Amino acid sequence: MIWVYTGGRLSESAFALAHCDGFRRMLAGKGVKKGHTIVNWGVGDDTKFPDYEFQYNLLNCPDAVLRAVNKKRAFEIWAGLNVSTVPWTANKAVAQEWLDAGSTVVARKLLTSHEGNGIVIVEKGDKL
């Protein structure tokens, strides 16, 4: 069984995942058994996890969530680990060069947001 743990906050994406075959939404730790898998959906505080006396598999540990909260910082970490990502920059002039060359740029107004808040799509001919 795979449980989706949201710490009480349920986003549309977590709700959708929890309703896929083989997944369930974790409510107050009920139903989790030894050997089950818990997908941490954005909880960066490990004190919010139920304390079980048995072993379970945890995907997306709270430390990983904390590192990924700031999108720029997450890309910097991934670059340091040689993780393949989309082309990205924090340099406005570089992003403008991409626009001028005909690329679409996905920009963020908010670095620590969620559910797509703060995302802006910028097309060729637009200015950042």
Give the number of other Cβ atoms within 10 Å of residue 21's Cβ: 5
pLDDT, averaged in runs of 10, over the chain (128 residues) = 85 88 84 89 78 83 86 92 94 93 93 86 87
Distance CA 49, CA 28 (A): 9
Give pLDDT, residue 41: 87
pLDDT given at position 13: 87
Structure tokens at 80: 């340091």
pLDDT score, position 80: 94
pLDDT at 106: 95
Q: Can you give the residue ranges of every domain in the chain?
A: 2-66, 69-122
pLDDT on residue 67: 85
CB-count burial class (<10 Å; 0-12, 13-18, 19+) for 6: buried
| Separation CA 115–CA 128 (nearest Å) | 22
